[in-house]
Amino acid sequence: MTNPVSAPVISIDPVDGLIDQPRRIVVSGLVPDELVAISAHTQRARGAVWMSQATFMADADGVIDLARDAPVGGDYAEVSAMGLIWSQQPVESANHEIFADEVMEPLHTTLTAETAGGIQAKAELLQRFAGPGVDRREIREEGLVGTLFTPAGPGPHPVVVVLNGSGGGINEPRGALLASRGYQAFALGYFKAPGLSPFITETPLEYLETGLRWAHRKLEPKYGFVAVSGQSRGGELALLLGATFPHLVSAVIAFVPGAVVHGAQGAGDPARGGWQGTTWTRGGVPLTHLWQDNQAVHWHPWAGDTPPSRHHSVFFEGLKDKALVEQSRIPVEKITGPVLLISGRDDRAWPSSLYSRMVVSSLHRAGHPGLVRHLDFDDAGHAINLPIVPSTQLSREHPVSKVPYTNGGTPSGNARANEGSWKGMLAFLDEVTGSSSQK
């Protein structure tokens, strides 16, 4: 008796779409109960290749459906339609960048299904940050350094100012995807961007104020709505801007934020205080921060001392200096607009879940009149990112200090937080603007 021979076929629906769109990936034409290895190869920033692989068993009809079937082995271990994307790791671990070199170009992923007999089928999947008609324009005005992304179709549009974290630079991927969902996005650099300081040290809040005023004046936002969204140090900054310039900030979206002002830390200029240097100034005056003669901290988290991999412990130590905490606390009760906080319960860079709860508590005690929402994700770390991107980099080298640090979370938990936070942010923006982004 001749054994049946499979002829695998991969179908992807849709083949081409935005990066936040899940796809249905099905392999058919297989022999019932056949084992098939499916791999995903993606070329990402600067030519780096990321890959994943998982093995599946076909059903009685010779079909594997990734939205229905868990792998029997491989790089992830649950039912997940896009598990082959979020479980990818770099082939050469030195390059950790997960986005394309050019944000207006799609990421290309090749899926390969291979049977035990060596028969292969291939298909390509495209993930885009910028949808049809999205316009990208570099902004170099009034000393500002950023990139403006404008949605297709007539305006005006609500505006979101997008701030990066302690890695600096300009967060173009988030800006492009926000514009693809109907929001004009001004991705604003504030250090480590062309013409700006390579360090976060002594960043003047007046620079950010200029950016907010420019957005109101030049972009003519719908309803006069200008939100500020930032992650990590950018989340700290978003809360600080909402509290300092409430008349310019319509809403605050803070990803894994701090509730207090911190020192320059890993993005600090070694010549100006390094880790304990000033981060923010206003009117040339440094803002008091948590590492300013802190009476409770007796060890340095990035100097090779214990604990090397969970340096967020120093933040808990720092919070024991109650007087300094009160001086460095961001006065979030001055924020007048809606607030969205996003955190991971296993954040090992700093305790963003605790910080977010501190902010919520302060707002509630002050009788904040607007919407306050906190999305707190299980098994998620510090690197909450865009949806359907690799979520496996639990530890990495800081892009400024070059010191290794730990993000925390699990790949699966981080992937769920990536998707949940993005949907939650769009739902928040839609609710507070009366728009509809999730079409």
Q: Which residues contact 136 (CB under 8 A, 6 or more apart)?
A: 103, 104, 130, 147, 148, 149, 172, 176
pLDDT higher at 180 or 265 = 180
| Spatial CA neighbour of 152 closest among 167, 168, 136, 166 | 136
Lowest mean pLDDT among 16-30, 235-249, 262-276, 279-293: 262-276
271: three-class secondary structure by DSSP: helix
Residue spans of beta strands (DSSP E) within 294-435:
339-344, 372-377, 395-397, 404-406
Specify whether the CB–CB gap between 286 and 385 falls below 8 A. Answer: no
Q: Count H helices, E strands: the chain?
A: 8, 23
List, for residues 248-280, the tens digit of each pLDDT value: 999 999 999 999 999 999 899 999 998 899 999
CA distance 110 to 88: 12
CA distance 62 to 9: 11
Residue 6 pLDDT level (bands cut at 50, 70, 90): confident
What is the distance, to the nearest Å, from the Cα of residue 96 to the centroid of all Cα atoms in its chain? 14
CA distance 325 to 129: 39
List, for residues 330-374, the tens digit of each pLDDT value: 999 999 999 999 999 999 999 999 999 999 999 999 999 999 999
Specify whether the CB–CB gap between 49 and 88 falls below 8 A. Answer: no
| Spatial CA neighbour of 260 closest among 169, 326, 173 | 326
Six-digit token string for 236 = 């700290």
Q: Which residues contact 255 (CB under 8 A, 6 or more apart)?
A: 229, 230, 231, 232, 234, 235, 342, 343, 384, 421
CA distance 32 to 345: 42
Lowest mean pLDDT among 90-94, 163-167, 211-215, 339-343: 90-94
Note the helical H segments in 64-167: 83-86
In this predicted structure, the answer to whether residue 88 has a pLDDT above a threshold of 70 is yes
Burial pattern 252-289, b for ≥16 Cβ within 10 A else e, equals: bbbbbbbbbbbbbbbbbbeeebbbbbbbbbeeeebbbb
Complete domains list, the chain, with CATH? 9-128 (2.60.40.2240), 135-433 (3.40.50.1820)
Residue 3 pLDDT level (bands cut at 50, 70, 90): low
Instruction: Write phi, then psi, for 41 (nearest 5 degrees).
Output: -120, 125
In this predicted structure, the answer to whether residue 306 has a pLDDT above a threshold of 50 is no
Q: What is the mean pLDDT of the chain?
A: 93
Q: Quote the pTM value.
A: 0.95
In this predicted structure, the answer to whether residue 183 has a pLDDT above a threshold of 80 is yes
In this predicted structure, the answer to whether residue 307 has a pLDDT above a threshold of 50 is no
In this predicted structure, the answer to whether residue 395 has a pLDDT above a threshold of 90 is no
Six-digit token string for 253 = 């979206």
Place of tokens 């070059």: 402
CA distance 415 to 87: 9
Query: Going edge to edge, which strands form the sheet with 24-28?
Result: 9-13, 24-28, 64-65
| Spatial CA neighbour of 421 closest among 381, 393, 392 | 381
Amino acid found at 357? R
According to DSSP, the β-strands at 49-57 and 89-90 are antiparallel
The reported pLDDT for the residue numbered 115 is: 96
**CA-angle at 147, arms to 421 and 142, nearest 5°:** 125
The reported pLDDT for the residue numbered 408 is: 92
Contacts 24+ apart (CB under 8 A), 105-108: 106/16, 107/19, 107/42, 107/43, 107/44, 108/42, 108/43
